[in-house]
Amino acid sequence: MGRVQGVGFRYFVWREAEALGVDGWVRNRADGTVEALARGTTEELDRLRDRIQEGPRWSRVMSVSVTDEADQDVAQGFEIRRDEA
């Protein structure tokens, strides 16, 4: 998704996903980017992507990349995962 520093971006994504009823997870990656996997209806995922592109008011989102990972198994609910090692 993108590089972040101290803006609570993972918590922002978690709150938005929970509000939309989207399943999946979000985590910081070792390279300083944020990665998320989300499962929901097309409308829910489009709304989540739109919210992520806006970001929290104290952030600046430079880009969002979306890929189709249909084969991924996702548990019900949305969680913040530990940072990637």
Q: Which is catalytic among the residues 10, 29, 39, 57?
A: 10
Q: Given 28, 57, 60, 82, which residue is catalytic?
A: 28
Active site residue 10: yes
CA-to-CA separations, 53 to 72, 76, 78, in angstroms, rounded: 23, 24, 18
Residue closest to 2 by CA, chosen among 46, 52, 47: 52
Q: How far apart are CA 6 and CA 36, in angstroms?
A: 17
Q: Is 28 among the catalytic positions?
A: yes
Q: Indicate left, alpha or beta for 16 from its phi (over 0: left) and psi (-120 to 50: alpha).
A: alpha
Active site residues: 10, 28
